Structure 1
Amino acid sequence: MNFKKRSYSSRLGLRRVAVLIAFGLCLFMSENLSAQTQPIYRALIVDGFSNHDWKQTTEVIRWILEGSGKFKIDVSTVPIDSVERQKWNPDFDPYAVVIQNTNNIHDLKLMWPEAARKSLDDYVRQGGGLYILHSANNAFPDWKEYDDMIGLGWRSAYSGIALEVSAERQLIKHPKGEGKGTSHGDRFDALIQILNPHPINEGYPTTWKTVNTEVYSYPRGAAENLTVLSYAFDSTDTKKMWPVEWVVKYGKGNVYNSSMGHLWRGETYPPAYRCAGFQTTVIRAAEWLASGKVTYPVPDDFPTPEKSSLRPMEAMGLNENE
């Protein structure tokens, strides 16, 4: 009798083990299937000229986005040679997002050819996503459609509306000729303050500290169909509050623009790029542009209002002495 009880008990235990193993296998297969079906978005970085270190900027942005597991990056470099440049006209259609990393502020002749300008305009109007990367909003003051796409940029006092943020968190509009052209003081550790909730900043602290950043005073432009996501107090120059991030609805497409992301010549993976808040925002903004939603999580090392968060240089195969 005891033997039969033990046999029954053993058979029951084996069944339980088998059920647990089967459940574990199903869970494992489900997780793997989910990982395999996680969308990988194609993104195109356009570079080739800038007063900033555009080559390193491209490589670090590629590393950040591909490291998220959500993007496959291609690069199209605009030829400097004027004859070759006129032939340059990338096909934007295969890409979920285009990242603009060219700036001709010191050489206005370095303009995209007309065909490429029309291709980008059509791409965004028809539903494409465009990321304006830092100094790219300094570019192309004579390209009207680009001005409309970027919303605000580095422009003269007579080139559009400037937006300021009041103490009551309301937008103050400075018309053409009122106030100054766009500028910035010294780079500093800025407190980013969320003005409007958005999928990009969902789950962020309402304020968070980034490092060694530029806050543009009097950012100017068409300022149409525009939503300011965040702002910061300019402690080194104007002692006023100015937009830091904004999004623009352009046709059926969306544009993200920000003054964050400064990488100057002679710098190597500088603190502004090592900021966990900046890296997270790059990924989440690109994902929103690509899909209209954000699934990339806010990491545990995201900055707080009191403390910035720098990721180690070793992550890029560098050390602090480089």
Structure 2
Amino acid sequence: MKNMIASLVLALLCTVTYAQNNHDKLIRVLIVDGFSNHDWRQTTKQVKKILDKSGLFEVAVSTAPGTVNDTAWATWDPGFKNYDVVIQNTNNIQNPSLRWPRRIEEELENYVSSGGGLYILHSANNAFAHWDAYNRMIGMGWRSKETGYALYIDKNKAVQRVPPGEGEGTFHGNRSDLLIHKLNSNPINKGFPNEWVTPDIELYKYARGPAENVTILSYAFDAETNKNWPVEWVVKYGKGNVYASSMGHLWSGDIYPVSYRSIDFQTILIRATEWLAKGKVTYPVPANFPTRSTISVNTEPDTTR
């Protein structure tokens, strides 16, 4: 009996140790939400579901107060330093006075510059135009014509800079299916085809900012302006890295839209988050990744409601 009890205890200890070790291997991800002109609640649910399904991440959410004068601002602290990657899912473009407290801005600046990873999710590049360090972290965002440089890719695949005051302020047309072209290699897009179709995307034109330490990963052509505009880019900020993309649009009333069901978006979300945490990627490119002529969409039912 004593031997049986000892064996059971040993087995239990081994199970607990394995679970702890496996838990320690998970990448700690924080999604910050709370306000946006997009459906931030549904966005957070979908992003968390995609990341959870990969088995690589432990995902937490910090929801900021949603009004300027909320007393909860005094104690709100997302605790960036406790995570490997922060996914930014707030946007104050329609209410510029709705901002994070300065102490939280400084925490994010220190977090990224010290080596943390920051994922700018779709409309998060619309946010915080007042914040100089944020503009440098994201490289380019939804900004006025007079604010910063815009980048486009010419016919020779060279990156061109549009100075402040020239061209236009940031805008986009209707959502559409677009052919994405890979421009620069990165562990995120290693193994991707050189071109593939992504569905129902907003292509940002004349995204502007300091555009420093920016590497454009992919772009798409816009017939209205007759230019190739960046779709994904990464920014080096201190010791940390930032990933930004116009993929991931989710508007009010959208429930698990095709833009989130697309295999390319789901794959990129997982691989970019892993790269931000580790500087490398282990998540494989799925066999059904889209091609230059075929969209690929996950057909599983929505489970977030």
TM > 0.5 fold call: yes
Equivalent pair of 1:89/1:119 in contact (CA under 8 Å): no
- Matching residue's letter, 2:273: A
Equivalent pair of 1:46/1:99 in contact (CA under 8 Å): yes
Q: 1:219 aligns with which of 185, 189, 207?
A: 207
Q: 2:169 aligns with which of 165, 177, 181?
A: 181
Q: CA deviation at 1:301?
A: 1.1
Q: CA deviation at 1:87?
A: 2.8
- Report what 2:283 is aligned to: 296
- Report what 2:238 is aligned to: 251
Q: CA deviation at 1:39?
A: 2.5
Q: 1:122 aligns with which of 90, 104, 110?
A: 110
3-state SS of paired residue (1:107): coil
Q: How many residues align?
A: 285
- Matching residue's letter, 2:65: P
Q: Are 1:270 and 2:270 counterparts?
A: no
Distance in 2 separating the partners of 1:98 and 1:317:
24
RMSD: 1.7
Q: 1:72 aligns with which of 52, 58, 64?
A: 58
Q: Are 1:104 and 2:92 counterparts?
A: yes
- Report what 2:5 is aligned to: none
- Report what 2:81 is aligned to: 93
- Report what 2:272 is aligned to: 285
- Report what 1:21 is aligned to: none
Q: Are 1:40 and 2:26 counterparts?
A: yes
Give CA-to-partner distance per residue, 1:23-53, whole Å, 9 cap, x none: xxxxxxxxx99x9489210100000000000
Unmatched tracts of structure 2, length 5 or more: 1-17
**Structure whose alpha-carbon radius of gyration is higher:** 1
Equivalent pair of 1:154/1:183 in contact (CA under 8 Å): yes
Distance in 1 separating the partners of 2:243 and 2:155:
25
Q: CA deviation at 1:89?
A: 2.3
- Report what 1:134 is aligned to: 122
Q: Are 1:307 and 2:256 counterparts?
A: no
Q: Are 1:203 and 2:203 counterparts?
A: no
- Matching residue's letter, 1:174: V
Equivalent pair of 2:143/2:208 in contact (CA under 8 Å): yes
3-state SS of paired residue (1:66): helix
Equivalent pair of 2:32/2:61 in contact (CA under 8 Å): yes
Give CA-to-partner distance per residue, 1:59-88, whole Å, 9 cap, x none: 000000011000010000001242222432
Unmatched tracts of structure 1, length 5 or more: 1-31
Q: CA deviation at 1:313?
A: 4.1
- Relative to structure 1, is the Cα distance of residues 37 and 100 closer, same or farther in structure 2, using a 3 angstrom cutoff? closer
Identity %: 55
Equivalent pair of 1:274/1:310 in contact (CA under 8 Å): yes
3-state SS of paired residue (1:260): coil
Q: CA deviation at 1:317?
A: 3.8
Equivalent pair of 2:32/2:78 in contact (CA under 8 Å): no
Equivalent pair of 1:127/1:253 in contact (CA under 8 Å): yes
TM-score (norm 1): 0.86
Q: 1:84 aligns with which of 72, 83, 86?
A: 72
Equivalent pair of 1:269/1:313 in contact (CA under 8 Å): no
3-state SS of paired residue (1:62): helix
- Report what 2:151 is aligned to: 163
TM-score (norm 2): 0.90
Q: 1:145 aligns with which of 122, 128, 133?
A: 133
